[in-house]
Chains A and B, each alone.
Chain A
């Protein structure tokens, strides 16, 4: 009996150790719940085949993503070895001590040379121009537009447009043209509307939308090195840009005051609008006939130019960071080494991930792989981002508080909104000791 008992104990111990050993061979990545996370889960199967190390991509809804990641960081928890963090998190992730410094890794593997410069700047470097890196660019993304090719190419519509605006109806090259097209197709009586833009003020949706116009109008959010905002966010160009965004809101479907990526795609799939602003990462659903009955009639274009010819797109996308509290930091670094390999990046792009690898981005194979890759390629070389300081969320809240009532609620003027925002941002930077 005793013998049997000791055998059972030994077997249980062996099983426990085996399980422990197995657990050590697992890496966990936290990301938001969306298609690219599924592509990544598919990609890492190759890593498991090659190394025997299992990689799990744990996802959480977008609305809970930041909350979940930072709760884990706050608790110094080791549940996640890596996190695919938003570009704005770089400040909080690095100065808060949550991200491992990847500067040496960048130098050793020449990551800054392999990846598109804008993505390195946007997803990896903090503070700006410091040469310190905290993430490997993983999913490149930016705002672009989807549009109804059949509406644009309809001879009757083309003739009517030409008669009214004195130029041909085509993919807009400037924001002014985009405004004209939105106005032209805005026909509420026919339940057909001009366009869809971001208006949700819950997090960064509307701010990203407005940024597209502000940057292309030649304005800046502020001086990222001195944190000066007066004369930047409330400049003449910035005020004009905000006025223009409000004008565009007038061409959206009714009750379009809380819209983000879901509504943006819905506007196309339901045949509501002629154009819809969204992140490129959400365009695969529009190109799929199973999820969009107008898939064949849907085209894509990059953000148009502003009045002075400047052309920018708000940066989306994320970088992959190693979490300081991970118990598998070395294994995570080895995973990063594998991930930046050109063959892996190529496979990543084939699966549907938006690679940031310059060589692959520039290749014809990539640019012709989907109907939206060409516009994505163009966008990745003209992206600009929001403040990436640790207090970015407070800056976002202030922008939402000033812009949303003006754009959606029709309260006050653009000048009042931008002057108020400059004052709010100054106070926030002062509170955190960035300015005196």
Chain B
């Protein structure tokens, strides 16, 4: 008696429902279309513009100029200065975030009271809007009444108008904001380390430094490296904080240069070329990290 019912259900299901292929397409095709329309197409279109003298503010006919934009940009001392400055900023910011973030993760990995609350509070800065953080820190750095000078006993010290320290001041703000991100990933890596390894090391009377160097660091390294990759890419593209906090030559990161070239000066073709140079630089740096990450995983 049950056989016909089963067979009718078995026959009806494929007719009414969607095949696996259809379901897959339903999910994938809109995403691919979205990516093509909003990512791939503009990317290729701007690549085309990078070989022209196109200025979006003018109705002049667009001329193909070959590699001229790239040649001029790579020979421009100001552009190199922007890249050098950006590299300095990336090093200061990422190194600072790793030290502070990883250090905080090591502390939070211990059994301490109100650990959950403390972790949540430490994560608050990265939930804030970057422009607001910039404005907020501008006040903290105020030489007359800012809290930074009060805390460091540097009364009257000018931070954001001093070419020697303005970039460092911005990097400190970035460290404050994004160290929690490194902390979070490091904490995930640290809590995944089996306690048995530490127990074995304790039985062998291994020193704290040995345990850190041979157990903690190698096991947390893949996640830490992922955090570094993300933060390096983001730091390389930093715009908001630096734009809001200072307006010195010594704080003009490459993203700010690109913005000014594209939307103040309307050198559209040239700015597209600069955007591609930045993209290639970010890809090259990321590639180095990814190779290192793969090597770590292979061990």
Contacts and interface: CB of A to CB of B under 8 A. Distances in A.
B247 A258 contact: yes
A74 interface: yes
Contacts of A98: 59
A413 interface: no
A158 B263 CA distance: 49
A405 B163 CA distance: 8
Interface in A265-289: none
Contact of B160 (A258, A394, A397, A410): A258
A6 B58 CA distance: 50
Interface stretch (A115-123, A127-135, A239-247, A248-256): A248-256
A257 B160 contact: yes
B59 A397 contact: no
A393 B264 contact: yes
A405 B55 CA distance: 28
A254 B156 contact: yes
Contact of A257 (B58, B142, B248): B248
Interface in A336-372: none
Contacts of A404: 247-249
B156 A394 contact: no
Given A97-B59, A202-B247, A255-B158, A409 B163 contact: yes
A256 B58 contact: no
B157 to A, nearest CB: 9
Contact of A409 (B59, B142, B156, B250): B250
A99 B267 CA distance: 20
Interface stretch (A26-34, A43-51, A53-61, A65-73): A65-73
A95 B263 contact: no
Contacts of B266: 70, 92, 393
A401 B247 CA distance: 11
A201 interface: yes
In this complex, the member of B144, B265, B266 whose beta carbon has the largest number of chain A beta carbons within 10 angstroms is B266
B64 interface: no
Nearest to A401: B249
A17 interface: no
Contacts of A396: 264
B260 interface: yes
B112 to A, nearest CB: 39
Contact of A397 (B57, B248, B264): B264
A86 interface: no
A191 B265 contact: no
Nearest to B257: A397
Nearest to B245: A258
Contacts, number: 85
- Name B's interface SS: loop
B56 interface: yes
A97 B56 CA distance: 12
A254 B154 CA distance: 13
Given A254-B144, A255-B142, A256-B161, A401 B78 contact: yes
Contacts of A390: 55, 57-58
A390 B163 CA distance: 32
B159 interface: yes
How many interface residues does chain B have, given as a range?
20 to 34
B178 interface: no
Interface string A397-427: 1000100110011110000000000000000
Nearest to A68: B263
B141 interface: yes
A309 interface: no
Contacts of B260: 397
A191 B144 contact: yes
Contacts of A254: 143-144, 156, 158, 161
Contacts of A73: 57
B144 A253 contact: yes
Contacts of A97: 59
A397 B265 contact: yes
A96 interface: yes
Contact of A255 (B60, B141, B249): B141
Contacts of B249: 201, 401, 404-405, 409
Contacts of A394: 265, 267
B57 A70 contact: yes
Nearest to A70: B57
A409 B163 CA distance: 6
A390 B264 CA distance: 11
B185 interface: no
Contact of A74 (B57, B160, B246, B267): B57
A74 B163 contact: no
A203 interface: yes
Interface string B43-67: 0000000000001111110000000
Interface of B: 55-60, 78, 141-144, 156, 158-161, 163, 246-250, 260, 263-267
16 contacts: A67-B264, A73-B57, A98-B59, A191-B144, A254-B144, A254-B156, A254-B158, A255-B143, A257-B158, A257-B246, A257-B248, A258-B161, A258-B248, A391-B265, A405-B248, A408-B161
Given A254-B156, A394-B267, 19 more contacts: A70-B57, A70-B266, A74-B57, A92-B57, A96-B58, A188-B156, A199-B161, A255-B161, A256-B161, A258-B248, A390-B55, A390-B57, A393-B264, A401-B78, A401-B249, A404-B249, A408-B248, A409-B248, A410-B163
